[in-house]
Amino acid sequence: MYQGHFIGAILLMGGEGRRFGGPTPKQFTSLGKKKIYRHTLDTLLKTNLFDEIILVCLSGWTEKTQKEVGNLAHVVEGGLSRQQSSHIGLKAFHSPPKIVMIHDAVRPFISPDIIQANMEGALLEGAVDTCIPSADTLIFSPDHQTIAAIPKRADYLRGQTPQTFLYEWILEAHETALQNKIQDATDDCQLILASGKPVKIVQGSEKNIKITSEWDLQIAKAILATL
């Protein structure tokens, strides 16, 4: 219990890894001595903040993953999209949590400080997103052929995960989206904003990378070697 509240976490690990390539989806690929998703899960477990953790898993990997994690987490099969998988995860808790943290399983270097800031922010503000500044110039090009605009870089941030919410806020946002036939949201904060509620920002980290390609895996190995 965190400050007397029931706290839940969802690890999204349903991606097929088309950009990653190879026979094994990225979340189940080894990074050092452990699979990528186990690095992420173990960090969450070490904080002792979470009363229940849901792993939303790729079809065909659910039973094997449940055997691997035992009673450390509850594994459910994900949907056809990120939005569906998040909603499935939200409905899978045995008891509705006060706060729920949603995180990409392929971001194995989430830090305890980021987790703590998410918990505190969500309890205080209702919804938070983890973000970092962009070091690159941002280009707006709807047709991917010509530049339509170059926005002011300082006004834009790069979104990471975790994203953490009052459970009732995010569940209601998902169910409202379905009622409005919105099925392609790629970010849970999109749904909160669409419901008219604000989302505050928590400082992320350059190390909190998302492993989506073989190149990312090489970067992750270098980061792991420094820990």
List, in order, residues 6 or more apart from 212 with CB less than 8 Å away: 17, 19, 20, 26, 106
Which helix (H) or strand (E) is 36 found in, with range? Answer: helix 36-47
> Which residue, among 217, 204, 214, 174, has the nearest Cα to 192 in the 3D structure?
174
- What are the Cα distances from residue 51, in Å, to 2, 5, 37? 9, 9, 19
Angle between helix axes 36-47 and 112-125 (nearest 10 degrees) is: 60
List, in order, residues 6 or more apart from 147 with CB less than 8 Å away: 139, 140, 141
CA distance between the termini of the chain: 28
pLDDT per residue, tens digit, the chain (227 aa), is 567 889 999 999 987 655 555 678 899 999 999 999 999 999 999 999 999 999 999 999 999 999 999 999 999 999 999 999 999 999 999 999 999 999 999 999 999 999 999 999 999 999 999 999 999 999 999 999 999 999 999 999 999 999 999 999 999 999 999 999 999 899 999 999 999 999 999 999 999 999 999 999 999 999 999 98
Sheet strand arrangement including 127-133 = 74-77, 52-57, 7-13, 99-104, 157-166, 127-133, 200-203
> Which residue, among 42, 44, 68, has the nearest Cα to 57 in the 3D structure?
68
Name the pTM for this structure: 0.94
Angle between helix axes 82-91 and 167-179 (nearest 10 degrees) is: 130
Give me the pLDDT at residue 197, please.
97
Q: Which amino acid is at 149?
A: A
In order of start, what are the domains of the chain with their CATH numbers? 7-226 (3.90.550.10)
Residues 158, 139: contact at Cβ < 8 Å?
no
